[in-house]
Chain A
Amino acid sequence: MDPIIEVYKRDVDRTLIRENLRLTVDQRLANLEALLRDAEEIREAMRQAKSKRAAEHHEP
């Protein structure tokens, strides 16, 4: 498996890793929660935009 992993390693963004390694474990997990919160907000905004478009489409 190692040669395969070596190929995959070429595409790893090490700048993100270096940024994360500067943080404490608690800060990393807080970032994870913030990322998920942001993703949920984006999903909700998209849901609302879709409903709005659908409502507009059905207006006479």
Chain B
Amino acid sequence: MTEFRELIRILSDAQVEFIIVGGVAAFAHGSARVTQDVDVVYRRTPENLKRLVAALQPYNPYPRGAPEGLPFKWDERTIQLGVNFTLRTTLGFIDLLGEITAGGSYDDVVRHSHLVEVYGTTCLCIDLDELIRVKKAVGRPKDFDAIAELEAIRDERRSS
């Protein structure tokens, strides 16, 4: 099981620059759709990669679904060589995204994000409007239900 709030707290405490996106962001906005992993967009500066590596190191990040025993080394070079990583850790599943389709990198997404309080700490979460826009732009049929729910949340917020 993924300890969502603990993962978020660890990244925040380590001053990692990240933004919550995906299913956890949807849940934070009021969705009732269950998700099993945390998706975050992280900033790809050398300083931030250093903080990210140090923050997750104690939780043994490893590529999700990959066979055991791969020569995977969790360090800054590995992150520099890739962009998006789907990982399992001892705290659960986390997807580290250097960029998201139709949303761009951290510096793009941050303009459409706001601070939320989680577990006594604050972190950035993608705005509801941007989450809807990105999901629509990607246009996957499997997201239609989720988009409909997010739009319903927006309707409810506007009417309350």
Contacts and interface: CB of A to CB of B under 8 A. Distances in A.
Interface of A: 1, 4-6, 8-9, 11-14, 16-18, 20-21, 24-26, 28-30, 32-33, 35-37, 39-40
Interface in B106-145: 116-119, 125, 136, 139, 144-145
B3 A33 contact: yes
Contact of B32 (A6, A13, A25): A13
Contacts, number: 80
Contacts of A14: 152, 156
Interface in B1-35: 1-5, 8, 24, 27-28, 30-32, 34-35
A5 B156 contact: no
Contacts of A9: 148, 151-152
A8 B8 CA distance: 32
18 contacts: A1-B139, A5-B144, A5-B148, A5-B151, A8-B148, A11-B148, A13-B32, A17-B152, A24-B117, A25-B116, A25-B118, A26-B5, A26-B119, A29-B24, A29-B119, A33-B3, A35-B34, A39-B34
B36 interface: yes
Contact of B1 (A11, A12, A37): A37
Interface in B37-91: none
Interface of B: 1-5, 8, 24, 27-28, 30-32, 34-36, 116-119, 125, 136, 139, 144-145, 147-149, 151-153, 156-157, 160
Counting from the closest, the 7 A-B pairs by CB-CB distance are A8-B148, A16-B32, A20-B30, A12-B152, A9-B148, A25-B116, A25-B28
Given A1-B136, A36-B36, A8 B144 contact: yes
Nearest to A35: B34
Contacts of B34: 32, 35-36, 39
Nearest to B38: A29
Given A8-B148, A12-B149, A35-B34, A29 B28 contact: yes
